[in-house]
Amino acid sequence: MLARSARSSVSRRRVVGGLAVIGLAVVAAGCDGKLPIVPTPLAGSQPRRNEPAALAPAGPPESPRTPVGATFGRVLTLEGVSVERDVVKAGDYLRIWLHWHATAHSQEDLRSIGRVVTAGGRVLASEDDQIGGRKRHLSRWQVGERVVDEMRLRVTPSSAPGEYGLAIGVLRPDNLTAVPVTSRAPLAATWQEDAVLVGTVEVLAG
């Protein structure tokens, strides 16, 4: 009996030892194996963000479609605006022509700012630009001169569908502070004191 038990014990130790050797071999084989190669997408293959629809070239109207009659800083009058369309998709551009009249000589090259705003005052789109463009700064205008500027406002892609206001203001070039509205026609409604509401636009889902 003792001899048989001893032989069984030795057999069990051999089996366990053999399993241990096999396990180590499997682990070693797993460590030596090459890692799978995961392909990474190229930068050019990533999905591109939706770009706004390009605006076709268009010339300004000879006269404003909507009269405004607001004077900024006693030197520059926004006689009116011409909004290209009344409906725009969220994420697209809205083109507006600003009809300016130099009522006095300006020593500053002022900037215009356009905004698409909600009834509560939130801004959905904003764009400012040099009045007169790069080649015809305001300080070079003659008193009585009239110039039409084109402005492009991109409506925020996440804008909810609805009707919104269009507000136009004037900024000083050095610190971008607002130039006050010094006079306006009775029909020109002010927006936050330093800008005028010139119309509305309907925004559709993009």
Residue 106, C-beta contacts closer than 8 angstroms, at least 6 positions apart: 73, 75, 76, 138, 139, 141
Hey, what are 102's tokens?
């130099």
Q: Where are the beta strands (DSSP E) in 51-117?
A: 66-72, 76-83, 87-89, 93-102, 111-117
pLDDT at 55: 81
Distance of CA 130 to the CA centre of its chain: 19
CATH architecture of 66-204: Distorted Sandwich (2.70)
The domain ranges of the chain are 66-204
Other Cβ atoms closer than 10 A to 197: 18
Buried b (16+ CB within 10 A) or exposed e, 165-181: bbbbbbbeeeeeebbeb
Residue 178, C-beta contacts closer than 8 angstroms, at least 6 positions apart: 169, 170, 171, 172, 194, 195
pLDDT at 37: 53
Measured CA to CA, the distance from residue 197 to residue 114 in angstroms comes to 10
pLDDT at 173: 94
pLDDT tens sequence for the chain (206 residues) = 434 444 444 444 443 444 343 343 333 344 444 445 544 544 444 434 467 777 878 888 889 999 999 999 999 999 999 999 999 999 999 999 999 999 999 999 999 999 999 999 899 899 999 999 888 899 999 999 999 999 999 999 999 999 999 999 999 999 999 999 999 998 888 888 899 999 999 999 97
The pTM (predicted TM-score) of the whole model is 0.74
Q: How many CA atoms lie within 13 A of 132 on its CB side?
A: 17
What is the DSSP secondary structure assignment for residue 122, as one 8-state letter? -
pLDDT at 60: 83
Locus of tokens 């520059």: 76
Measured CA to CA, the distance from residue 114 to residue 128 in angstroms comes to 6
Measured CA to CA, the distance from residue 152 to residue 117 in angstroms comes to 15
Distance of CA 127 to the CA centre of its chain: 10
Residues 128, 111: contact at Cβ < 8 Å? yes
The dihedrals phi and psi of 11, each to the nearest 5 degrees, come to -65, -40
